[in-house]
Structure 1
Amino acid sequence: MAGVLFNIAQGILGNLSPLAFKEINQLWGFKDELKKLKGTVFTIQAVLLDAEEQQVGSHAVRNWLEKLEDAMYDADDLLDDFSIEALRREIMTRDKTAKEVCIFFSKSNQLLYALKMGHKIKVIRKRLDAINADAMNFNLKLRTKETPVMNKKRDNTHSFVQAEAIIGRECDKKAVISHLMDSSVKENVSILPIVGIGGLGKTTLAQLIFTSKEIEKHFELKMWVCVSDNFDVKIIVEKILESATNKKTKKLAMNTLVKELRKNIDEKKFLLVLDDVWSEDINQWLKLKELLMGGARGSKILVTTRSEKVANITHTIKPHLLSGLNEPASWFLFKQTAFEKGQEPKNSIIVESGREIVKKCAGVPLAIRTMGSLLYSKTSETEWLTFKNNELPKITQKENDILPTLKLSYDYLPSHLKYCFAFCSLFPKDYKIDISTLIKLWIAHGFVKSSDDQNQCLEDVGNEYFMDLLLRSFFQEAKMDEFGNVIECKMHDLMHDLATSVAGSWITTLDDKKRNIDEKARHVSVAYGINISRGVPTLLCKANRMRTFLCFGLSVEDNIDCDSTFSSSKFLRVLDLHHDFTVYSTFDSLPNLSSIGKLKHLRYLDLSGNKIMKKLPDSITNLQNLQTLRLSNYIVVAVVYKN
């Protein structure tokens, strides 16, 4: 949380830079109040890094940070209002007639605005002063600079490729392939689970097997489906069909889907991978299993799961238990990520420290890789000993739980990367994140700061942020274009859990399990298949400080009135109402957006998937801060960044 607040504080101080300060003061004259506000924010920012460390063991510090979070967001919104108003004055002066400008800038009009905003500045400044005074109770230390981290550049641009894919899993690969190719089984369709704790590499092992030459030759049809938390039989059948046909399925009734499924898989010798199964509901599993039993003799279903109960429910072949890497394999993987070119250093103290750190990772590849990436920048004996003696003991590792290890790597991130990473908890698990879109979302929220290099645009800086997180193993399964640029990635489930944990109440995702929004939520997303026209608009009215609304594919039944739903969300920076071609068919109608021009903070608007090119409301021209407007799934119609 403090990492997030540190970033907000930087944004506020940026809005109170000498140039912005001068402009606001010339227009309305809030010199004294703005100076006091700037001083308070600067003082608070100086203790945030220490507060982040203390909140782990102090409920009082955690509550203080929660109060501060609300106030800082409000201060940021208020200063953004000033910037918008200043820009509006500039535009009106330039584009309107003299009469209109005269009316708009009349003394009474400006006096009213100055009085109202002056009062708001005073209120928020006093509120922050009171919170700042409370900080004295916690003896927080002043730390105006973050601990330098990861300033050493990797010379291997492809070092983010999952090294554990070829380390220590050859025996597991051979054993599973042997079972899958066994023709002596009695059932037409047999089921083999791979079971193990999170981060062991179950999905990576399954991918190795799925793409092997032996498997390619042995099966007539191969299909891969990510199941994850939501075990919905209809959705899984849709995904199986998409994988079998390489075509996106239309929204069909269940009986039609079943006919299509049987037409495509019955009498064929297939391999189906059901990746990351969580549901322990045997009835749901039996419903799905019944639909898959028409395959030719020798067909196999490979299930990956963390749950032994799931393995016991699903298996017809004895489950393959995946254990941690042995000591030599663990050390080899650690070397690949912690040392330049994977070369073990000559310094015996560093090697000894490294081996003790590896032991803490308990053979879990994700933990080993993450810790190695964290330590890559450390080259001196002192740095390694300090980390081993001071930081490593802070990990209170529980059996089968590597989140504390991953949390340590998060703690070492610079504040701007903490913010960017936590924001990614808005995406569903197993979601293929488009990097270009992700960077535009970061920019829309001001997470990406201009660099000293005048030739470097914000998108280039944002891409550096992403690559930094990728190299630290916060993302995985990177997909590159023909030029070697990363265009797509995923987050490991455990990394997603970590992002959700550190985001706290300021991010909310609505899905089948969660149908409530915290009033403090600033960023909200709606998962696949949730009909947002039923109940969601009422919930959104509670989150009237919301800055982000992401919808991952509107359904056919959705008929959302944006005017009423988002009327109270006047601080929205990002509004995504796209219809997802990959999930549903295209739409002829556009949700009611007649008053969208009132969302003056809006930077990112996605209306793709709708046939709306000639139906945009006139008020959209009032969105003077709009940076990105998407009107098709493949074209960004306008991208304008105002620095």
Structure 2
Amino acid sequence: MAEGVLFDIAGEIIKKLGSRAFCEMGLWWGVRDELKKLEATVSSIHNMLLDAEEQQKQNRQVKGWLEKLQEIVYDADDLVDDFATEALRRQVMTGNRLTKEVTLFFSSSNRLVYGFKMGHKIKAIREKLADIEADRQFRLEVRTGERGYTTMVRDQTVSSVPEVVIGREGDKKATVELLLASNSKGNVSVISIVGIGGLGKTTLAQFIFNDERIKNYFELKIWVCVSDPFDVKIIVRKILETATCKKSEDLELEALTSQLGNILNGKRYLLVLDDVWNEDCEKWDNLKKILLGGSSGSKILVTTRSKIVAQISSTEEPYLLEGLSPSKSWSLFLHVALRGQEPKDSKIKKIVEEIVKKCVGVPLAIKTIASLLCYKYSENEWGTFLENELSKVPQNENDILPTLKLSYDHLSSPLKHCFAYCALFPKGYKIDVKTLIHLWVAQGFIESSSSTDCADDIGLKYFMELWWRSFFQEVKRDKFGNIHFCKMHDLMHDLATSITGIGTTINPVGLSNTRKLRTFLLPHQRFFLETSREMSIHLNFKKLRAFGVSGFGIKTVPNYIKRLKHLRYLDVSENYEIRTLPNSITNLQNLQVLNVSFCNSLMELPKDIKKMINLRHLSWCSVSCPFQNFPVHER
């Protein structure tokens, strides 16, 4: 996971083990001494983790040591959560005190049995941690105090957040003229915008897509984000869904092609295929044959980083998008960092010129570095940043990831976790921001200074700061002005993936270590996923914090979901055939979010739902509103 995650998890373990509640639990189950020993061991490791996480960048031995440590730290975290969950379970048991004691005596939670079992688990984890600590063959410094990161909030209101675009007026004019020109080769012609990542190809295409002349010229406009994989059936389905504004049926390619033909035939259309990577001529030709039914003047606009893609797809000369000119780069930097005002100090002005030069005309790099400096440094400190950090970044005009990584390095630890977690989503995925915040909370990424702080409100602040720093883009609001959806730039997704060391794992096919899995999501927008419609929660998924099968076509929620005692987030929405939820779901005392929206056949909620004392969000919006008389109250 992201750098710093072990430090924070260890810190949370220490905080919980040192709390009064855990002290009382330790006394009750007769394991107080073991818990205190575990706390001491974790504290000893915690004090050196900051130095270890810094050293791992240059020392493979340290990196390997941290990888071994990570698994045991997560085990310790799960163990602590087990204790807290058992305490919650006892709290919600029904009946008088005598009934409760009799029930507990004959259960696996018998005071003596549970204490004996947990005592052995605590000791085993503590000894593993001690062995790993003793096994290191390198020196680690003890670091105390805070990391030195700060979180700042700009004074602009949320509604004034701009999408900063400077210097592309000429590119827009030239590309619009290409699209409005008469076709020289058949009814449908293909034009490509090609350039390195971060130049603003998608932004330019959006400018063009919303231009008034384009709106008036084309009868039908369709936007599809392609990314990987390039699957003709999936792309055709996406085109259909965008053109009709409704979910497409799961039909064979021939039937989908017929439906698309009925929509395109006789119409002058513009189709934008954003972020194309496919370099297979045959796949492209197969797609193009399906799209030839438009009337004369129809255009397909492709954005790509690959010149090979542009070559095999284009019928016209590709449009090569270049970096911003020095003057436009300067203007963009000033717009983000200094509200458009030039620095008065000539020394600072020279420093800015050097910083802008190192961003090699790439708008994403300019915006990211400018927002970092705006947040983290006063103008007088910009020279220090240039000399000590930016100058050490490898300068490669074809790879700006090292430059973007600088901005990531300056995030607070919680923000690092929240950003890196987004590597789970596929490229081009439209992220529901409310859901994303719920997932952050479920994973324990939200830090609060007070028990009265609302985790969702803090999560929204995290999102806003990441957005301001250009880690998110294309933010959309609902009709009430609330932030609804967002996307990540492909390069930011690449950065998140490089940080976590994983690919897209939201699709769980082929997972090898399911026992440790904390997130299992099958997204509703899974055009890439072809699998059976049976829900099967693997029995090894016992450590899950988040589980989602929205729109997956399941008919029942298995009774054994009760075994997922760490679960905080459960989404079974848009499964139209679910009629009931098992009452065993009320054993999930840690559950914070339950989403059963648009489960239109669901007639009632479990009778013991009051036992779910941590439930904060119950989403049940439905066409038939079966729970309209259900009493819902704020906690």
TM-score (norm. length: structure 1): 0.88
Q: What residue in structure 2 maps to residue 207 of structure 1?
A: 206
Q: Confirm or deny that 1:601 pairs with 2:566.
A: yes
Question: For 1:613 and 1:186, how far apart are their aligned partners in 2?
Answer: 52
Q: What residue in structure 2 maps to residue 529 of structure 1?
A: none
CA contact 1:150–1:374 (8 Å) conserved in 2: no
Question: For 2:135 and 2:335, how far apart are their aligned partners in 1?
Answer: 46
1:436-477 CA distances to partner (integer Å, 9 max, x unpaired)? 1111111112111234383x4111111111111111111000
Question: For 1:19 and 1:347, how far apart are their aligned partners in 2?
Answer: 55
Q: Which deviates more, 444-453 or 184-193?
A: 444-453
Match of 1:402 among 385, 400, 403: 400
SS in 2 for 1:626: coil
Q: What residue in structure 1 maps to residue 582 of structure 2?
A: 617
Q: Confirm or deny that 1:471 pairs with 2:471.
A: no
1:297-354 CA distances to partner (integer Å, 9 max, x unpaired)? 1111110000000000011110000011111111111112222x33233233333222
Q: What residue in structure 1 maps to residue 219 of structure 2?
A: 220
Q: What residue in structure 2 maps to residue 583 of structure 1?
A: none
Q: Confirm or deny that 1:169 pairs with 2:134.
A: no
CA contact 1:602–1:625 (8 Å) conserved in 2: yes
Q: Confirm or deny that 1:132 pairs with 2:103.
A: no
Report the aligned-residue RMSD: 2.5
Q: Which deviates more, 410-419 or 23-32?
A: 23-32
1:128-181 CA distances to partner (integer Å, 9 max, x unpaired)? 2233345571433514311233435343535643212xx111111111111111
CA contact 2:516–2:541 (8 Å) conserved in 1: yes
Q: What residue in structure 2 maps to residue 521 of structure 1?
A: none
Q: What residue in structure 2 maps to residue 310 of structure 1?
A: 309
CA contact 2:576–2:599 (8 Å) conserved in 1: no
CA contact 1:451–1:461 (8 Å) conserved in 2: no
Question: For 2:267 and 2:373, how far apart are their aligned partners in 1?
Answer: 49
Question: For 1:233 and 1:551, how far apart are their aligned partners in 2?
Answer: 21
Q: Which deviates more, 394-403 or 539-548?
A: 539-548
Match of 1:552 among 512, 523, 535: 523
SS in 2 for 1:525: coil
1:604-636 CA distances to partner (integer Å, 9 max, x unpaired)? 111111235532122112111111111115999
* Cα separation, partners in 2 of 1:138 and 1:343, compared to 1, 3 Å: farther
Q: What residue in structure 2 maps to residue 518 of structure 1?
A: none
SS in 1 for 2:247: coil
| 1:487 maps to amino acid | H
Identity of aligned residues (%): 51
1:54 Cα deviation after fit: 2.0
* Cα separation, partners in 2 of 1:469 and 1:95, compared to 1, 3 Å: farther
Question: For 1:44 and 1:616, how far apart are their aligned partners in 2?
Answer: 43
1:257-307 CA distances to partner (integer Å, 9 max, x unpaired)? 111111111221111111100010000000011111121111111100000
Question: For 1:346 and 1:452, how far apart are their aligned partners in 2?
Answer: 42
Q: What residue in structure 2 maps to residue 457 of structure 1?
A: 454
SS in 2 for 1:324: coil
Q: Which deviates more, 132-141 or 179-188?
A: 132-141
* Cα separation, partners in 2 of 1:557 and 1:73, compared to 1, 3 Å: closer
CA contact 1:2–1:51 (8 Å) conserved in 2: no
Q: Which deviates more, 394-403 or 25-34?
A: 25-34
| 1:545 maps to amino acid | K
* Cα separation, partners in 2 of 1:48 and 1:641, compared to 1, 3 Å: farther
| 2:506 maps to amino acid | S
1:559 Cα deviation after fit: 3.6
Question: For 2:68 and 2:361, how far apart are their aligned partners in 1?
Answer: 40
CA contact 1:349–1:381 (8 Å) conserved in 2: no
Long gaps (5+) in structure 1: 510-523, 527-531, 581-586
1:49-92 CA distances to partner (integer Å, 9 max, x unpaired)? 33333222211121122112111111100100010111122222
Q: What residue in structure 2 maps to residue 362 of structure 1?
A: 360
Q: What residue in structure 2 maps to residue 375 of structure 1?
A: 373
Q: Which deviates more, 180-189 or 267-276?
A: 180-189
Question: For 1:20 and 1:363, how far apart are their aligned partners in 2?
Answer: 56
Question: For 1:485 and 1:42, how far apart are their aligned partners in 2?
Answer: 41
Question: For 2:21 and 2:3, how far apart are their aligned partners in 1?
Answer: 26
Q: What residue in structure 1 maps to residue 330 of structure 2?
A: 331
CA contact 1:541–1:566 (8 Å) conserved in 2: no
Q: What residue in structure 2 maps to residue 45 of structure 1?
A: 46
| 2:57 maps to amino acid | V
Q: What residue in structure 1 maps to residue 426 of structure 2?
A: 428
Alignment of 1:505-524 (within 5 A): 509=504, 524=505
Question: For 1:625 and 1:139, how far apart are their aligned partners in 2?
Answer: 37
Question: For 1:365 and 1:295, how far apart are their aligned partners in 2?
Answer: 35
| 2:206 maps to amino acid | Q
Q: Which deviates more, 224-233 or 610-619?
A: 610-619
1:558 Cα deviation after fit: 1.6
CA contact 1:570–1:601 (8 Å) conserved in 2: yes
1:592 Cα deviation after fit: 5.4
1:529-562 CA distances to partner (integer Å, 9 max, x unpaired)? xxx7xxx4xx457421111100113778524352
Q: What residue in structure 1 maps to residue 180 of structure 2?
A: 181
Q: What residue in structure 2 maps to residue 516 of structure 1?
A: none
TM-score (norm. length: structure 2): 0.89
* Cα separation, partners in 2 of 1:634 and 1:356, compared to 1, 3 Å: farther
| 1:574 maps to amino acid | A
